[in-house]
Structure 1
Amino acid sequence: MRSALLHVSVPFVLCVTLANTSLFDEVKVDLAYDHYAERRVDYLPSFLAMPCNCLVNLAYIYMGLYWLLNCRGVKETEQGRYMREVFAFMAVLYAPVQWVRLASLRRAPAVLDQWFTLPIFAWVPVWISSIQRRPARWRAPGAAVVQLLSLLSYGLSLAHERGFEVALGCHVAAAVYKGACVQRDLGDGRTRVYLLLAVLSCAGFVVLKLLDHWLSRYWLFQRLTGHFWSKVCDVLQFHFSFCFLTTLTQRAQGKTASQEE
Structure 2
Amino acid sequence: MKAETGQALLHVAGGCCLCIAAISTGIFAGVSVQVGYEHYAEAPVPGLPAFLAMPFNSLINLAYVLLGCYWLQRGESARGGSTEGPRARYLQDTFAAMAVIYGPVQWLRMGTQAPWAAVLDQWLTLPIFAWPVAWCLYLEWGWKPGLFLGIECLSLASYCLALLHPWGFEITLGAHILATVGQALHTQAWCGSPSSRAYLGLGVLSCLGFVALKLWDHQLARWRLFQRFTGHFWSKVCDVLQFHFAFLFLTNLSSRRRLCPGEKKP
Does residue 109 (structure 1) correspond to residue 113 (structure 2)? The answer is no
| Pair 1:183-2:188 in alignment | yes
Q: CA deviation at 1:256?
A: 8.2
1:243 to 243, 248, 255: 248
> Which deviates further from its counterpart, 171-180 or 11-20?
11-20
Match of 1:130 among 106, 130, 138: 138
Distance 1:65 1:164 in 2: 28
Counterpart in the other structure of 1:145: 150
Alignment: residue pair count: 254
Q: Per-residue deviation at 1:6?
A: 1.5
Compared CA separation, residues 255 and 73, structure 1 to 2 (3 A)? farther
2:208 is matched by which residue type in structure 1? A
Whether the 8 Å contact between 1:77 and 1:253 is mirrored in structure 2 is no
Superposed CA offset, 1:177-210 (max 9, x none): 0110111111121111000000000000000000
Q: Which one of 71, 77, 80 corresponds to residue 75 of structure 2?
A: 71
Deviations 1:135-157 (A, max 9, x none): xxx21011001100000000000
Task: Show the counterpart of 1:13.
Answer: 17
Q: Equivalents in 1 of 2:186, 2:48: separation in Å?
A: 48
User: Identity of paired residues, percent?
Assistant: 49
Which residue does 1:45 correspond to in 2?
49
Moved runs in structure 1, 4+ residues, more than 6 A?
Answer: none
Q: CA deviation at 1:255?
A: 4.8
What residue number does 2:60 align with? 56
Q: How many Å separate the matches in 2 of 1:70 and 1:78?
A: 14
Matched, 1:97 2:101: no
The one-letter code matched in structure 1 to 2:95 is: F
Secondary structure at 1:249's aligned position in 2?
A: helix
Q: Is the 8 A contact 2:126 2:176 kept in 1?
A: yes
Q: Report how far residue 20 of structure 1 moved.
A: 2.4
Q: What is the identity, as a one-letter code, of the residue corresponding to 1:79? A: R
State the AA in 2 paired with 1:63: L
SS at match of 2:76: coil
Gaps of 5+ in 1: none
Query: What is the letter of the counterpart of residue 191 of structure 2?
Result: L
SS at match of 1:59: helix
In 1, Cα distance between the equivalents of 2:75 and 2:133? Answer: 21
Aligned CA distance change for structure 1 residues 256 and 182 (closer, same or farther; 3 Å): closer
Contact 2:75–2:93 under 8 Å retained in 1: no
- Spell out, residue by residue over 1:67-89, the C-alpha distance to the aligned partner (whole angstroms, 9 max, x if none): 11123233120110000000000
Question: Which residue of 2 is the match for residue 3 of structure 1?
Answer: 7
